[in-house]
Amino acid sequence: MRNGSGERLPRADGLDAALSKQEDASCWYLTLGGCPVTVSPNDQGDFEYRCQGCGAQQNDVHERVLALSQADDHASKCRATRDPRAEDAAYLAREISAEVRAELPSIDARAAAGIALSAAVLIGVVGQPQPMPILVFMVVAAALLTIALLLFFTVLLPVPGEAGRASIRRWATLESGQALVDQLTGKNRAIYHATAAVELSSVVRTKHIRLMLGLYAGGLAVLTLAAGATYSLFLVF
């Protein structure tokens, strides 16, 4: 409460704590178009309200009851609506995020198949001793297959750095569910899904580059083996 000069009057401890907790909480009203009008305390110890539809606001209301009354009066007259494009953007961003996320298992499956195939060919190459100069082709092919194996293995590893935090693990640093709720409360759905889509796309891009490099190395190894086999036939004839 305030006296005639605008200064706060002292209150009993229990009542003061209860009212202080109530006054620290925000309150919302809806306009005729469905936009929220938010009433919240400000840094000066007063109260403010703001309409997220038309942008109308009042920043220095001394009493919470008065701020609530003004916000209610504004909400009952304001016809502002939400931007429909924001809902479309949130839906599209979520769809993009889901499509990109679905690509990750496919890339990992191809990398696993590449590991199995490269290992089988490498074992076959190493297990068959060849005379010179055919041995040179075998050594080059074995080196390329080893590189391909390493690249396929890196595809299956987590992507380090910023892209590696694209999953829900980014919330693991929070200490409580309330802390998570507090962070999510201020997030825009379209921006949240779009950010997730961008981060996941970075992960997919990195994995795809490694997969393609592994495929190129494996392809060069096969070409080297084919060249060695052709050269061997040429020597025979």
102 shares its domain with 61 = no
127 shares its domain with 186 = yes
Any idea which of 18-27, 76-85, 131-140, 158-167 has the lowest mean pLDDT?
158-167
What is the token pair recorded at 128? 């068959």
The domain boundary, picked from 75, 93, 121, lies at: 75
- Residue 232, burial from CB neighbour count under 10 angstroms (0-12, 13-18, 19+): middle
- The better pLDDT of the pair 232, 2 is held by 232
Q: For residues 144 and 218, is the Cβ–Cβ distance under 8 A?
A: yes
What range defines the domain where residue 31 resides? Answer: 13-75
How much is the mean pLDDT over the chain? 76
Position 6 in a domain? no
The domain boundary, picked from 34, 52, 75, lies at: 75
The pLDDT, as a whole number, for residue 213 is 93
The domain boundary, picked from 75, 103, 124, lies at: 75
Domain count of the chain?
A: 2
The pLDDT, as a whole number, for residue 126 is 75
Position 3 in a domain? no
The pLDDT, as a whole number, for residue 185 is 65
145 shares its domain with 115 = yes
Percent of the chain with pLDDT over 70: 74
Global pTM? 0.59
Residues 34-81: tens digit of each pLDDT: 888 888 887 777 888 888 888 888 887 778 888 888 888 888 888 887
